[in-house]
Copies of this chain bind each other. A is one copy, B any other.
Amino acid sequence: MTASPQSDRRVQRREAKVAAILDEAWKLAHRDGLAAVSLRDLADAVGLRQPSLYVYFESKADLYDAMFADGYRQLLAYIGTRRRADDPRQALANLVTDCVRFSSDDVVRHQLLFQRTIPGFEPSQASMTLAVEFYNLARERCDAAGIRTQADMDVLTALISGLAHQQVANNPGGRRWVRYADRVVEMFLADLDRRTTLERNSR
């Protein structure tokens, strides 16, 4: 199962090309809207003829899927670059801030990853694996901060997506809702503590 040096280079070339195409696809999506990206424009942008794109993607849905996967890789990479605080609660607050910031940094990416808005597009299993990877990372960090029930997770995810959504929808390019992240996590954790205390006292 040893690949020849030639095929090695070929694979590498191909991956570089795919990456370049994806890059232009994001640019077009920013310019025209995600649903309005066309394979013709995309081919133009990368200096290919439109049918040649089919060498790299077998359909338009496949292109969206690759963008979806790319977006989640970006998210995982971004979270990976951030230092994790020692205090688990602080680490959680930072994660929330990072998520909201990540969304606010690219409205279109946010749209593709977190809103299901392209008619007919469903991420493939392979792409969903990346989404799950992120979800597990978040759950692990929640666990460390003492958030264990599904209900608590549900509420927290709602808080994150709400901040991200308002940020993207009402202050694109800004940081208005990003700045509320710490406050919201504090609020959430205080509520958690209050509930724990209440439960203990009722026993």
Q: Are A157 and B161 in contact (CB under 8 A)?
A: no
Is A184 on the interface with B (CB-CB < 8 A)? Answer: yes
Instruction: Give the residues from 81 to 125 in chain A that come closer than 8 angstroms, CB to CB, to chain B.
Output: 111, 114-120
Interface string of A157-192 (1 = CB under 8 A from B): 111111101100100000011001001101110110
Is A151 on the interface with B (CB-CB < 8 A)? Answer: yes
Q: List 15 A-B contacts (CB under 8 A).
A: A32-B119, A33-B120, A34-B117, A35-B35, A35-B117, A35-B119, A36-B120, A114-B169, A115-B115, A158-B163, A158-B177, A187-B187, A187-B190, A190-B190, A190-B194
| Across-interface contacts of A119 in B (CB, < 8 A) | 32-36
CA distance A197 to B21 in the complex (A): 55
Q: Are A158 and B166 in contact (CB under 8 A)?
A: yes
Is A154 on the interface with B (CB-CB < 8 A)? Answer: yes
Looking at the assembled complex, report how far the CB atom of A167 sits from the nearest CB atom of chain B, in whole angstroms: 8
Point out the residue from B34, B35, B111, B184 that lies within 8 Å of A158, measured CB to CB.
B184
Q: Are A155 and B169 in contact (CB under 8 A)?
A: no
Point out the residue from B32, B114, B187 that lies within 8 Å of A191, measured CB to CB.
B187
Having A33-B120, A35-B35, A190-B190, one finds 10 other A-B pairs with CB under 8 Å, namely: A111-B115, A115-B165, A115-B169, A116-B169, A151-B180, A155-B183, A159-B162, A162-B163, A162-B165, A190-B191
Which residue on B lies nearest to A121, using beta carbons? B33
CA distance A62 to B48 in the complex (A): 36
Q: Are B176 and A155 in contact (CB under 8 A)?
A: no
CA distance A20 to B191 in the complex (A): 47
Q: Are B157 and A166 in contact (CB under 8 A)?
A: yes
Q: A162-B161, A191-B187 are in contact. Are A154 and B180 (CB under 8 A)?
A: yes
Q: Are B155 and A184 in contact (CB under 8 A)?
A: yes
Task: Identify which of A111, A119, A160, A187 gathers the most chain B CB atoms within 10 Å of its CB.
Answer: A187
| Across-interface contacts of A114 in B (CB, < 8 A) | 165, 169
CA distance A33 to B158 in the complex (A): 24
